[in-house]
């Protein structure tokens, strides 16, 4: 992407458990396109779920393009929080004792994102 002069923002500088930083929120809001990489461990990360909610807010407010990519996880498991994805989501819920409003926003965001047109790693070489 960088070779094609497409500015990218990768959030690999966040430490586990950190809150979403102001710079990440600004990057999400300023983006034209967001690519969400769902993996098996995605549901165990509170800040991944918080970012997902923020990305989908940007989709609604600014008509941003959101492209979900499912890597070794089934979109229906993400959509319905089932299978190994659902187990990790339940463990996160138990571990954090998050409020039901936040939990519901995560569930809604997962359902919405997994319902978008997407790419699935099992369907690609």
The structure tokens listed for 26 are 């600004």
The answer to whether position 16 is within a domain reads no
The pLDDT of 35-54, averaged and rounded, is 90
Residue 95 lies in a domain: yes
pTM surpassing 0.85? no
Provide the number of structural domains found in the chain.
Answer: 1
**DSSP 3-state of 43:** helix
**Could you give the C-alpha distances from 54 to 21, 83, 110, in angstroms and in order?**
12, 25, 12
Tens digit of pLDDT for each residue in 15-28?
554 556 777 778 88
Does a structural domain hold residue 125?
no
* Rounded distance between C-alpha atoms, residue 70 and residue 104, angstroms: 21
| CATH code of 82's domain | 3.40.50.10140
Q: CA–CA separation, 78 vs 42, rounded Å?
A: 9
């Amino acid at each position: 992407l960088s070779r094609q002069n497409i500015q990218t923002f990768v959030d690999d500088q966040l430490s586990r458990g950190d809150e979403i930083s102001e710079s990440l929120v600004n990057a999400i809001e300023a983006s034209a396109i967001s690519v969400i990489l769902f993996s098996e461990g995605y549901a165990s990360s509170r800040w991944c779920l918080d970012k997902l909610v923020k990305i989908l807010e940007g989709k609604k407010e600014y008509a941003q393009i959101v492209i979900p990519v499912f890597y070794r996880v089934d979109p229906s498991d993400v959509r319905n929080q089932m299978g190994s994805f659902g187990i990790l989501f339940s463990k996160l819920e138990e571990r954090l004792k998050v409020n039901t409003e936040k939990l519901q926003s995560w569930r809604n965001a997962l359902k919405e994102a997994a319902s978008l047109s997407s790419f699935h790693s099992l369907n690609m070489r």
